[in-house]
Amino acid sequence: MSASSYLPPPQVPDANWALFLDIDGTLLEHAEHPDAVVVGERLRTLLVELETKLDGALAFITGRSISVADRLFKPLRLRAAGLYGLEHRLEMNGPVLAASEPADIAALAQEIEAELGVANVYVERKGPILAIHTRAAPHLLPRATQLVEEALKHLPKGYRVLAGNAGVELMPLQAAKGAAIRRFMDLPAFVGKQPIFLGDDTSDEPGFDTVNEMGGLSVRIGPPRQTSARYALSSVDQALAWLAESTGQKGDARWSSLSA
C-alpha cells in the first residue's frame, strides 16, 4: 500500500483482538544508543492494562533479545518473540526459549568491533544476530554494510543482511516477524482472535503482511513511506495515545513525553 493512502486505525474495543507490539520506534522513541532508551512508568502501566483487557493476548515482537526487553521493561516479563522470532517467551513470566551465539558470528563480531568500535560504531551481539549501529557515525554505514555482506560469502548458507534503523543487521533467514506472530496465534490465549501489529521499520513489513493475510490490522508508526501496513499513526506519541484510548484513557498527543 502506498504512503498516500494511509488511514488512522479504528479503535479496537474488546478482547476479540490480539495485540503484537514492536518496541523501538513504536513504543519507544529512538535514542542515540540502544541502552539509552527510556521506558516510563506510564507505559508499563498501559501494557499491563492492555494485557489484562485482552485476556493475555499481547506480545512484544522485537529485534531485541528478550533479556534486554526484560531489562528495559522490568519488572514486566511479557510474552515476547525476541531476535525477530528466534527466541520466545510464550507465557507471561514463563521461561525463555533463547538462542545462542555461534562461534563464526562471535569471531565476526570481534573483527567488526576491532575495525569500527573505535569509531563510535556499536556492535550489538544478539546470539545469532549481529546489529551494527552507526547512528553516532553515519558515514560508516556503507563500510558496516560492506563488512556484513562480505561475511555472507564465508558464513554457512542461511543468513541475510537487513538494513536497520541507523545501522545494519546480519541474521539467520528464519528470523522473521511474520512467523513469530503466527506462532503466537496458535496459542490458547490468541486463537480465534484478530491480530493487530504495530511496527515502524523494514523488519516489521513481514509482520504487516502476515496480519493482512489473517484479516487483522497492520499499523505503521512514523512519517509516510511505502509499506504493506494498511493504517498509520505518525509518531510514537500517537501510537501510545491510540493504545491508551482503547483502555478508556483520553487522547493525549504528548503521551510518551509525559510518561517518563
Catalogue the active-site residues.
22
Residue 47 half-sphere exposure toward CB, CA atoms < 13 A: 25
Q: Does 88 bind ligand L263DTV3 (CB under 6 A)?
A: no
C-alpha cell read off for 170: 546480519
Per rule CB under 6 A, count of chain residues that contact ligand L263DTV3: 23
Q: How far apart are CA 132 and CA 51, in angstroms?
A: 33
CB of 108 to ligand L263DTV3, least distance (A): 16
Q: Does 220 bind ligand L263DTV3 (CB under 6 A)?
A: no
Starting from the edge strand earliest in sequence, which strands make up the sheet with 129-133, in order?
122-126, 129-133, 167-172, 159-164
CB of 245 to ligand L263DTV3, least distance (A): 22
Shortest Cβ contact with ligand L263DTV3: which residue?
Answer: 63
Q: How far apart are CA 60 and CA 22, in angstroms?
A: 6
Coil, strand or helix at 55: coil
| Identity of the residue, 15 or 125, whose beta carbon is nearer to ligand L263DTV3 in the bound complex | 125
CB of 164 to ligand L263DTV3, least distance (A): 5
Angle subtended by helix axes 103-116 and 141-152, to nearest 10: 150
CB of 71 to ligand L263DTV3, least distance (A): 12
Q: Does 133 bind ligand L263DTV3 (CB under 6 A)?
A: yes
Residues 6+ apart with CB under 8 A from 186: none
| Identity of the residue, 138 or 158, whose beta carbon is nearer to ligand L263DTV3 in the bound complex | 138
Which positions from 28 to 47 touch ligand L263DTV3 by CB under 6 A, shown as an x/- string?
--xx-xx--x----------
